[in-house]
Amino acid sequence: MKKWLICGAVALLGVVGYSLYAASIQRGQDTVVTVRQRDQNGTPINSPDPLQIVSKAGHRNLFDPTITGYELTTPNPMKRLLPRHNQTVTLRYRSTWSKAQVRHALAHARYLQAGTQVTATPFFNDTQVQKQHAGYGRISTSQDGLTWSKLPISYPNVALTAPSVAYHHGQLTLYDGQTQYVTSDFVHWRKHPLKWTNAPFKRGQIVTPYQQTDGRLALIVKTPQYRYYVGELRGHQVKTWTALRLPQSRRDPVIGVSAVDGHVMAVQQRQHHVSLYRASDPTARFHLVGHVSVQRSRHEQLSNAGVLALKHDRYRLVFNLKHSSGTQAGTFYRELTGAFSATGSQKRLVPDYVWRTFQLSDGQRE
């Protein structure tokens, strides 16, 4: 009998002790753990960054540091239970892909996408408040233009505005503003400011590279007045400028120009639709080839647009909608016939991350 009483007392004390411990945890202070996940260049990998974990001290830590395509190179100081004091943790990663794997993905991609990702704010259901937050450069590949995969490499640790991409002979280049960033090992990037001083477009921004029939590279540039020019890239200088013969209107601006299946296509935003123009090369005359209706609210505008050439003489119009409040409403697309008429309904594209800006191009096969 005495033995049973002792066992009961011990069990009761255990229950009471655990209850008191649990109550103390519930009444305990909030702990904030700030986690930064960075690549080899110190560039944020995910959004949001930094990530904040807010919970009671002593509660189980549910954070998983795993990132697909990357491996952790620094010790993870976070314990199984959250600490009693606030903590800031910086985790460094490197790609699990070899250089040969990255080269293969780039050389065999049907489509390439260069864009920016805002890491300062969280996102929900593919919408994100972006406003003037900086974006970091990203490069994605795709075989069908619907499923995109962000390359798990180390990106330039610099805020970019609207990058575009080219891949030639094992060399990957991001163009942004009036600068090119070049890498061959997909970690270290060399920055080369491009030189042009011509008055009409000295404040111009690079829109996309364009490979000419003779193999030389040209750059299409947009001015703050929404006028477009093309110039030949020679070393780090851009020369022999020609104006693109496109509609020029601040009220109905051309919001996208891209190289598509050996041609150049432009997308002009109108009140209830977009107009599509095509030319055999940037110096040729652009011809109106179609109008495509776009579903959007009166508070939304197209902020980006591009066209992909699909199999069987079909096309796809891809565009971003942005609310006047600065919220990115998502990326959408319309399927087009060979005559650039829309078929089916407008659909939401589910990208590999929220594309703040994007520039689409055909894959650059070596």
Domain contains 15: no
Structure confidence at residue 125 (pLDDT) = 64
Same domain, 75 and 141: no
Using CA atoms, how far apart are residues 137 and 163, in angstroms rounded to an integer?
7
Comparison of pLDDT for 346 and 48, the residue scoring more: 346
Which of 96, 120, 140 terminates a domain? The answer is 96
Using CA atoms, how far apart are residues 219 and 257, in angstroms rounded to an integer?
11
Structure confidence at residue 24 (pLDDT) = 45
The total domain count for the chain is 2
Same domain, 117 and 37: no
Per-residue pLDDT tens digits for 19-34: 444 444 444 568 899 9
Which of 77, 96, 115 terminates a domain? The answer is 96
Domain contains 12: no
Residues with Cβ within 8 Å of residue 222, at least 6 apart in sequence: 204, 205, 207, 228, 257
Structure confidence at residue 269 (pLDDT) = 92
Using CA atoms, how far apart are residues 123 and 321, in angstroms rounded to an integer?
15
Same domain, 120 and 243: yes
* CB-based contact 136:155 (threshold 8 Å): yes
Residue 350 Ramachandran class (φ > 0 left, ψ -120 to 50 alpha, else beta): beta
CATH number at residue 59: 2.60.40
Per-residue pLDDT tens digits for 274-331: 999 999 999 999 999 999 999 998 888 888 999 999 999 999 999 999 888 878 888 9
Same domain, 83 and 145: no
Same domain, 131 and 274: yes
Domain contains 209: yes
Using CA atoms, how far apart are residues 304 and 75, in angstroms rounded to an integer?
40
Same domain, 76 and 114: no
Domain contains 69: yes
Say which residue the tokens 């095509």 belong to.
278
Which of 43, 78, 96 terminates a domain? The answer is 96
Same domain, 55 and 139: no
CA distances from 359 to 19, 235, 258, 259 (A): 58, 23, 7, 10
Q: Which residues pair with 65 in a beta bridge?
A: none
Neighbour tally for 275: CB within 10 Å: 18
Per-residue pLDDT tens digits for 124-165: 666 666 666 668 999 999 999 999 999 999 999 999 999 999
Neighbour tally for 200: CB within 10 Å: 12
Cα angle 48-299-344, degrees, rounded to a multiple of 5 = 85
Domain that holds residue 248: 99-362
Q: Name the average pLDDT for the chain.
A: 87
Take residue 10 and report the two structure tokens written for it: 């011990």
Structure confidence at residue 236 (pLDDT) = 85
Domain contains 136: yes
Same domain, 165 and 226: yes
Using CA atoms, how far apart are residues 139 and 162, in angstroms rounded to an integer?
12
Using CA atoms, how far apart are residues 203 and 223, in angstroms rounded to an integer?
6
Domain contains 7: no
Structure confidence at residue 238 (pLDDT) = 87
Average of per-residue pLDDT across 110-119: 93
At 225, the pLDDT band (50, 70, 90 cuts) reads: confident
Domain contains 13: no
Domain contains 23: no
Top mean pLDDT of 9-13, 129-133, 267-271, 277-281 is at: 277-281
**What phi and psi, each to the nearest 5 degrees, are found at residue 307?**
-125, 135
CATH number at residue 149: 2.115.10
Structure confidence at residue 95 (pLDDT) = 98
Comparison of pLDDT for 200 and 275, the residue scoring more: 275
Same domain, 234 and 307: yes
Using CA atoms, how far apart are residues 70 and 41, in angstroms rounded to an integer?
13
Residues with Cβ within 8 Å of residue 119, at least 6 apart in sequence: 44, 46, 47, 48, 49, 136
3-state secondary structure of 268: strand
Side-chain-side CA neighbours of 188 within 13 Å: the count stands at 3
Same domain, 122 and 168: yes
Same domain, 82 and 113: no
* CB-based contact 83:59 (threshold 8 Å): no
